[in-house]
Amino acid sequence: RQAAKPQSGPIEGVDRILAIGSGKGGVGKSTVSANLAVALAAEGRRVGLLDADVYGPSQPRMLGISGRPSSPDGQTILPLRNHGVTLMSIGLLTPEDKATIWRGPMLMGALQQMLRQVAWGRLDVLIVDLPPGTGDVQLTLSQKAEVTGAVVVSTPQDIALLDAKKALDMFEKTGTKVVGMIENMSTFVCPCCGEETQIFGHGGAKAEAERIGAPFLGEIPLDIDVRLSGDAGVPVVAAKPQSPQALRFREIARKL
C-alpha cells in the first residue's frame, strides 16, 4: 500500500513556490505568469505552472497546450508540457466553453489535487497563477503549501492599484512574503510613430512597492505582440525572444 501523501507542507521535489496574484482581473496576471514561466525555463530552471485560476483558466490556451492529462494508476495525474514548462490546469479537464460552478470545498479539493496528486517531478520553481482577488483559493494555497513568495501584478490605474493593495494586505496577513510588484500595460508605444501613451497611467505600482518596502520588479508595456502571442499559445518570450518585451520578462525572471 502506498502511504497517504501529506496534505500540507512542502511539495515533494519542488524547491520554491511562487504565487502570482492581482487584486483585479484583466490586469494581465495570467499573461505575466505564462511569460515568466517560459522566461525562467529559458534561464535554465525547471519550471512548473499551476493554473489556480479555476473559474477562468487561461494557461492551456496561453501555453498552447490541449489534451487531457492522463492518470495511469487512477491517482497520480501526469501533467502536460510545452515551451519548457510543465502545466496543470482545471482547463485541461473541462471543456473550454463550460463553466466551473463550484462551492468552496470543491474548489479546495481541486486545488489540493493539483498541488499534490500531480507528478510535478523535480522543479526549481512552481509558479501558481492565482485567481484575481482575495478568496478561498489564495487562503487554501497559503495554508496548504509552503509558498516561498508572492508577486503582485497591477496596471498603473488607480482602481487596479486599489485592489492590488488588498492583495498585498492579504499576503501580509497570511504570512506570505511579497517578492515584488510588476506594472503591466504601463505604456503604449505607437507602432506607427513611436509615440508613448500612458493609457492607464504610469508609475503607480512602483510607488506602491516603495511604500510597502517590496522590490519593484519591472514594467511591461501594453503591446500588440504580447496579446497576439498569448492568444496564439506561444508567449512572447518564446515567440519573439529578442523583442524588448521578451527581454523585459527575462530581466524580471532573473530577479525571481
The residues of the shown chain that bind ligand ADP, judged by CB under 6 A, are 22, 25-31, 58, 184-185, 220, 222-223, 226-227, 230
Nearest CB to ligand ADP, comparing residues 42 and 185: 185
The C-alpha angle 182, 154, 158, rounded to 5 degrees, equals 130
Shortest distance (Å) from residue 110 CB to ligand ADP: 18
Shortest distance (Å) from residue 226 CB to ligand ADP: 4
Shortest distance (Å) from residue 13 CB to ligand ADP: 27
Show contacts of 102-105: CB within 8 Å, 24+ apart: 102/54, 104/136
Residue nearest to ligand ADP (CB): 28
Question: What is the Cα–Cα distance from 246 to 256, expressed in whole angstroms?
Answer: 16
Shortest distance (Å) from residue 223 CB to ligand ADP: 5
Q: Print the SS3 string covering 154-220.
A: ECCCHHHHHHHHHHHHHHHHCCCCEEEEEEEEEEEECCCCCCEECCCCCCHHHHHHHHHCCCEEEEE
Q: Is 177 left (phi over 0), alpha (psi -120 to 50) or beta?
A: beta
Nearest CB to ligand ADP, comparing residues 53 and 179: 53
The whole-angstrom distance between residue 248's C-alpha and the CA centroid of its chain comes to 16
Nearest CB to ligand ADP, comparing residues 36 and 185: 185
Question: Taking the CB of residue 141, how many other CB atoms lie within 10 A of it?
Answer: 24
Nearest CB to ligand ADP, comparing residues 25 and 149: 25
Shortest distance (Å) from residue 29 CB to ligand ADP: 3
Question: What is the Cα–Cα distance from 75 to 84, expressed in whole angstroms?
Answer: 25
Nearest CB to ligand ADP, comparing residues 11 and 217: 217
Shortest distance (Å) from residue 204 CB to ligand ADP: 15
Q: Which residues of 156-172 are buried (b: 16+ CB within 10 A; e: fewer)?
A: bbeebbebbbebbebbe
Question: What is the Cα–Cα distance from 54 to 130, expressed in whole angstroms?
Answer: 8
Nearest CB to ligand ADP, comparing residues 227 and 254: 227
Rg (the chain; Cα; Å): 18
Pair 225, 236: CB distance under 8 Å:
yes
Shortest distance (Å) from residue 185 CB to ligand ADP: 5
Nearest CB to ligand ADP, comparing residues 108 and 185: 185
